[in-house]
């Protein structure tokens, strides 16, 4: 089955990750590109090589020749576009965060029914994180987890997307941008949930950096950090248990300090994996419940930073 896709939002995220991810996955055809401007839609369409270009996203998601909708608009618009697509009977992949409010995420979960609702957590499709997750049980009971993700800020890779620093459109700064990725990676690899944000620290009016201390439901402590001020793109996850430690840093995995050979994966993007899930009728790599869980931690982090008190995760 070739999955027919409507791409809503044709900015840098769509062009850098969704278009190449769908092409490499091999299970999809983008039939319509809906952009904020016609120029952006045409540019994305031309990079794909075929399809229609429009500024009418509502008409795009309602088309009878569309099976799935990829939502790549600013964060505050995720709920509206995704809800319209689900009501039109489409499968939906939403960029993170799933929404900017838990109530909106709950609406999407209720609307999904038997349609797939996925969230674009690309890290789940990476070979390194998949291998780390496979090895975590060998550590025994986890005692601590660390996760960090950083880059030099959205202005470096998406200079046209000024909305990242406009809270009304973004919902927040680096914590809302990068936090869902780190939270989801920790939840997924540890096979547990977050019970509480014990403390949080934000740097900047629109948080350029953020740090969280979490208590996981199994009792382990997790410390997370995200930054828009990193000198270079960085990624690090460390899982420590009673019987050893796994560290994944910038794609290189070590088990108790010894390098681990990481087997390749067939599909390494959320966009490609979602198309495969739709084509085969299998669950997405990360579903709407995963997206809601990550958002709940991020929002609890903002609340904890304001109140200087621990916040239970809803």
Residues 6+ apart with CB under 8 A from 49: none
pLDDT over 90 (residue 159): no
pLDDT over 90 (residue 285): yes
State residue 151's pLDDT score: 96
SS3 (DSSP) at 84: helix
Domain with CATH 3.30.360.10 in the chain: 126-263+294-312
pLDDT tens-digit readout, 52-109? 999 999 999 999 999 999 999 999 999 999 999 999 999 999 999 999 999 999 999 9
Mean pLDDT of 125-140: 98
Least confident range from 19-28, 110-119, 284-293: namely 19-28
The second-level CATH assignment, the architecture, of 3-122+270-285 is 3-Layer(aba) Sandwich (3.40)
pLDDT over 90 (residue 133): yes
Closest of 131, 137, 123 to residue 259, by C-alpha: 131
CA–CA gap between residue 280 and residue 264 (Å, rounded): 21
Mean pLDDT of 176-181: 98
CA–CA gap between residue 15 and residue 2 (Å, rounded): 20
SS3 (DSSP) at 154: helix
| Contact by Cβ (8 Å): 157, 16 | yes
Mean pLDDT of 231-259: 98
Query: Predicted confidence band at 298 (pLDDT cuts at 50, 70, 90)?
Result: very high
pLDDT over 90 (residue 27): no
The string of DSSP letters for 21-48 reads: HHHHH-SEEEEEEE-SSHHHHHHHHHHH
Residues 6+ apart with CB under 8 A from 135: 246, 255, 260
pLDDT over 90 (residue 219): yes
State residue 25's pLDDT score: 86
Burial bucket for residue 184 (CB in 10 Å: 0-12, 13-18, 19+): buried
Query: Predicted confidence band at 26 (pLDDT cuts at 50, 70, 90)?
Result: confident
State residue 157's pLDDT score: 80
Domain with CATH 3.40.50.720 in the chain: 3-122+270-285
Closest of 303, 263, 298 to residue 119, by C-alpha: 298
CA–CA gap between residue 21 and residue 267 (Å, rounded): 8
% residues pLDDT > 90 (the chain): 94
Query: Predicted confidence band at 29 (pLDDT cuts at 50, 70, 90)?
Result: very high
Query: Predicted confidence band at 251 (pLDDT cuts at 50, 70, 90)?
Result: very high
**Number of other residues whose CB lies within 10 A of the CB of residue 102:** 15
Mean pLDDT, the chain, integer: 97
- The CATH H-level superfamily of 126-263+294-312 is Dihydrodipicolinate Reductase; domain 2 (3.30.360.10)
Closest of 186, 188, 191 to residue 225, by C-alpha: 186
pLDDT over 90 (residue 174): yes
pLDDT over 90 (residue 224): yes
Closest of 78, 63, 80 to residue 29, by C-alpha: 63
**Number of other residues whose CB lies within 10 A of the CB of residue 191:** 11
**3 state SS for 222-267:** EEEEEECCCCCCEEEEEEEECCEEEEEECCEEEECCEECCCCCCCC
């Amino acid at each position: 089955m070739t999955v027919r896709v409507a791409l809503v939002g044709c900015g840098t995220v769509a062009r850098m990750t969704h278009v190449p991810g769908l092409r490499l996955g091999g299970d999809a055809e983008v039939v319509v590109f809906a952009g904020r401007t016609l120029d952006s839609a045409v540019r994305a369409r031309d990079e794909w090589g075929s399809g229609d270009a429009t500024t009418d996203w509502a008409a795009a998601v309602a088309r009878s020749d569309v099976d799935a909708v990829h939502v790549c608009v600013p964060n505050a618009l995720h709920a509206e576009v995704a809800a319209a697509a689900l009501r039109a009977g489409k499968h939906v992949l939403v960029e993170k965060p799933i929404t900017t409010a838990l109530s909106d995420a709950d609406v999407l979960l209720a609307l999904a029914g038997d349609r797939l609702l996925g969230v674009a957590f690309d890290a789940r499709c990476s070979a390194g994180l998949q291998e780390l997750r496979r090895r975590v049980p060998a550590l025994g009971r986890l005692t601590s987890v660390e996760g960090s993700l950083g880059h030099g800020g959205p202005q470096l890779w998406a200079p046209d997307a000024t909305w990242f620093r406009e809270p009304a459109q973004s919902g927040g700064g680096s914590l809302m941008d990068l936090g869902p990725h780190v939270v989801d990676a920790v939840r997924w690899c540890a096979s547990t949930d977050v019970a509480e944000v014990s403390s949080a620290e934000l740097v900047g009016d629109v948080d350029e950096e953020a740090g969280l201390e979490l208590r996981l439901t199994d009792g382990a402590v997790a410390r997370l950090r995200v930054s828009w001020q990193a000198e270079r793109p960085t990624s690090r996850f460390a899982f420590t248990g009673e019987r050893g430690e796994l560290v994944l840093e910038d794609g290189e995995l070590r088990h108790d300090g010894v390098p681990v050979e990481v087997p390749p994966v067939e599909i390494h993007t959320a966009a490609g994996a979602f198309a495969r899930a739709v084509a085969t009728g299998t669950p997405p790599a990360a579903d709407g419940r995963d997206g809601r869980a990550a958002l709940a931690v991020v929002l609890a982090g903002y609340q904890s930073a304001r109140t200087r008190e621990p916040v239970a995760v809803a």
